[in-house]
Chains A and B, each alone.
Chain A
Amino acid sequence: MIKHTILFVAIVTLLGACVQNNTTEDKNLPILGNREVVNGDTVYHKVPDFSFINQDSQVINNATFKDKAYLVDFFFTTCPSICPKVKQQMLRIYDKFDGEARLGLMSHTIDTKHDSVPVLKRYADDLGIPSGKWHFVTGDKDKIFDIADEYFIAAIEDANAPGGFDHSGRIILVDKNRHIRAFGEGTDPESIDKFMVQIQQLLDEM
């Protein structure tokens, strides 16, 4: 009986190892989201054009990330719920890929009323982020909520939620063609461990 159990565990472990190997052997990350076939070509979900203002009053748009992969998240500076944890994980990614010119970072505020350019500037300074490396952006509120949908991020204004907004703590990886390739749960350091491997995979693919 014990022998059988050991054999069973061994087989399961081996199978598990095989499955894992297969996923790591698959070099390219998948393209996430809906896809359509138009005239025989597959059309993937693509993040539409955007234009926001960062903490240094610079316009940040799709041209900012031309030929780059980039990461996005949504937050607000007075958020008492998940944001600090997500920011801590974004900082881990920022530190790990510091000096990697092919990767951009952009955090959108969802509290556009409070989080003006100077408020975002102070936040970036207090996080210890030098200018130009990580864009903390604000803009038209509807446009920010609309683009959150495009990144598959849930964000809603809710008076009952802590701080007045309810939103997901996901960090999204977008490639240079503005396709969404992977995401990490910003509230879970282990998820971000895996996510950082995926970010490297995408950079290797470029």
Chain B
Amino acid sequence: MKCKLTFLVFTVLTISILACDRQVNQQGKRLYITYCASCHMENGEGLRQIVPALTDKDYLHRHREEIPCMIREGISGPMVIHGKEYDRQMPGLPELNNVAIHNIVNFVFQSWGNDIIKMNLDEVNRHLEECASERDMK
């Protein structure tokens, strides 16, 4: 009897954790569609040499730590994505809080075959703090 109950509790917990995880992704997707997809497109392909694609795994790996700040503060200057140079300005999204940025980052990391290890919220908080203090120093 006790065993059965433990099993039931375990199953319920597992399902709710999985459901919760999926919900985070749904949240990330919703935010991505609202804030990013108008330029980067719903499938992350971007627009020719105007808006870079979000499907360059190497770029995402190499710049992993900068991505939360790029979303918050925007980015300008040349960058190479899929071997092509882009040099336009991306406006930041200062209205998004850390949790929202966390959700977007992980949605991008896990979509379109990117398959990049997710970032946890502590990591996102730390990177956002770092770039805020760098900006204050300037």
Which A residues form the contact surface with B (CB < 8 A)?
78, 80-82, 84-85, 87-88, 91, 123, 125-128, 162-163
Q: Which of B49, B51, B89, B91 sits near A84, CB closer than 8 Å?
A: B51
CB distance from B21 to the nearest CB of A (A): 30
In angstroms, Cα B50 to Cα A126, docked, is 6
CB distance from A164 to the nearest CB of B (A): 11
Q: Which of A78, A80, A123, A128 sits near B38, CB closer than 8 Å?
A: A80
In angstroms, Cα B69 to Cα A139, docked, is 37
In angstroms, Cα B34 to Cα A81, docked, is 10
Secondary structure call for the A interface: helix
Complex contact B89–A126 (CB within 8 A): no
B39 at the binding interface (Cβ < 8 Å) = yes
Q: Which of B38, B41, B51, B89 sits near A82, CB closer than 8 Å?
A: B38
* Further 14 A-B residue pairs, CB within 8 A, beyond A78-B89, A127-B48, A162-B91: A78-B88, A80-B91, A84-B38, A85-B38, A87-B50, A88-B41, A88-B47, A123-B50, A126-B49, A127-B47, A127-B49, A127-B50, A128-B48, A163-B91
**What are some 26 contacts across the A-B interface (CB < 8 A)?**
A78-B88, A78-B89, A80-B38, A80-B91, A82-B38, A84-B38, A84-B39, A84-B41, A84-B47, A84-B50, A84-B51, A85-B38, A85-B41, A87-B47, A87-B50, A88-B41, A88-B47, A91-B48, A126-B48, A126-B49, A126-B50, A127-B48, A127-B50, A128-B48, A128-B49, A162-B91
In the bound complex, residues from chain B placing their C-beta under 8 Å from that of A87 are 47, 50
CB distance from A122 to the nearest CB of B (A): 9
What are the 10 tightest A-B residue pairs by CB atom distance, in nearest-first order? A126-B49, A84-B47, A84-B39, A126-B50, A127-B48, A80-B91, A84-B51, A128-B48, A81-B38, A85-B38
In the bound complex, residues from chain B placing their C-beta under 8 Å from that of A125 are 49
In the bound complex, residues from chain A placing their C-beta under 8 Å from that of B91 are 80, 162-163
Chain A, residue nearest B74 (CB): A80
In the bound complex, residues from chain B placing their C-beta under 8 Å from that of A128 are 48-49
In angstroms, Cα B50 to Cα A128, docked, is 10
The A-B contact count (CB < 8 A) is: 33
CB distance from A188 to the nearest CB of B (A): 12
In the bound complex, residues from chain A placing their C-beta under 8 Å from that of B51 are 84
In angstroms, Cα B49 to Cα A12, docked, is 48
How does the 8 Å CB contact mask read for B24-44 relative to A, with 1 for contact and 0 for none?
Answer: 000000000000001101000
Chain B, residue nearest A81 (CB): B38
In the bound complex, residues from chain B placing their C-beta under 8 Å from that of A123 are 50
CB distance from B56 to the nearest CB of A (A): 17
In the bound complex, residues from chain B placing their C-beta under 8 Å from that of A163 are 91
CB distance from A168 to the nearest CB of B (A): 14
Chain A, residue nearest B40 (CB): A84
In angstroms, Cα B51 to Cα A68, docked, is 31
